[in-house]
Amino acid sequence: MKSLGIHHVSSLVADIHVSFQFYHNLLGLKLLMKTVNQDDHTMYHLFFADEEGRPGTEFTVFQINTFKKNTFGTNAIDRAVFSVTSEDALNYWLQRFDAHQIEHCGIETYGHSKIIRFEDPDGMPLGLSLASQPDGHFYPNHQSEIPLEHALIGIHSVHLRVRYPKATEKILVEWFDFERTEFLVDTPFPVTVLKNRHSEFQHEIHLIEDHVAPLEDQGIGGIHHLALYAEDYSDLLAINEKIIDKNFPNSGLHPREFFDAIYFREPNGILFEVASKIKKVPEPCSADTIDEVPLYLPDFLQSKRDRIEKDLLAIDNYRRES
């Protein structure tokens, strides 16, 4: 199959109001949709993306309705990194982070590139790095206050911390068209860098080999899953057959209204999603606060709207009173 790299990254947050302020207002990502988790209708799900809502730019957050914090560990998605197009943009972000009192590690040399490591309000590890193809066709959010030449243009890479990197590498190379481009040894742990060259984003996945840390205990501030991009439905079916053949724990095919998807646990136990081309998104809504954004529900949930909105309101009120 021909994979186009990363489709989206999904994370766990404590409060969508805080997350909207951070990802939309501070980082400048466009809010594509405010909806609910289709498997748990009491959980908000926000989609952030570029101006066109393209796969490869999407970062989503689930408002998890517990107060359990993520505990660092291995066999986990360690960090999500966004792309910018120049070192001038990295310098712009240092100034912006300082102005908004966002802690960061400065501009560091990492392999053959540069990176700024920082965290979101829930302590989720994030980063900014230089795009492999800075002259590609990119569509950052033009309504943001951030100058377009410094804007985030999409997902750059995802860092996975694993005990057995070769097992994960085999899946990514043989199933999803990634290839090994670097092996970093001047880091605290060895890192295998994989790249997918089939899209303008040239997405990377970094495999950090860590036999020391305990297993991650996932919670608020953790990254829930990594979605890989199979544009054609026939490719999605082919991947489903591979998953069944390997007997990996999986969800089977899920027809979402926005795209079709399969979820499975790769050899180190990290949750991967394989998602198809986006079929439908709601009309965009510009708003200064997340409460002004209407709740979008897929057709199969419209008959439950009253119940869903009452449950969400009750959760919001409980959070405000706690």
Dist. CA 242–CA 13, nearest whole Å: 32
Q: What residues pair up with 58 in beta bridges, in sequence order? A: 8
Query: What is the SS3 assignment for 118?
Result: strand
What amino acid is encoded at 152 in this protein?
L
Q: Which residue has the tokens 């498997």?
A: 39
Region for 106 from its dihedrals, namely left if φ exceeds 0, alpha if ψ lies in -120 to 50, beta otherwise: left
Angstrom distance (rounded) from CA 108 to CA 97: 15
Question: Does an H or E element contain 314, and which?
Answer: helix 305-321
Q: Which domains are seen in the chain, by residue range?
A: 3-292 (3.10.180.10)
Compute the average pLDDT of residues 175-196.
Answer: 96
Query: 182 by DSSP, 3-state: which?
Result: strand
Distance from C-alpha of 29 to C-alpha of 13, rounded to nearest angstrom:
16
Lowest mean pLDDT among 45-49, 75-79, 135-139, 272-276: 135-139
Residues recorded for the chain: 322
Q: pTM for the whole thing?
A: 0.96
Q: What percent of the chain has pLDDT over 90?
A: 86
Give the amino acid at 70: N
Identify each DSSP E strand in 26-135 by its residue range.
30-37, 40-49, 58-63, 76-84, 104-110, 113-119, 125-130
Give the pLDDT confidence of 234-292 residue by residue, as tens digits. 999 999 999 999 999 999 998 888 889 999 999 999 999 999 988 777 777 778 899 99
Q: Reduce the DSSP state of residue 232 to 3 states and report it.
A: coil
Q: Give yes or no for a contact between 149 and 86, defined as CB atoms under 8 angstroms apart.
A: yes
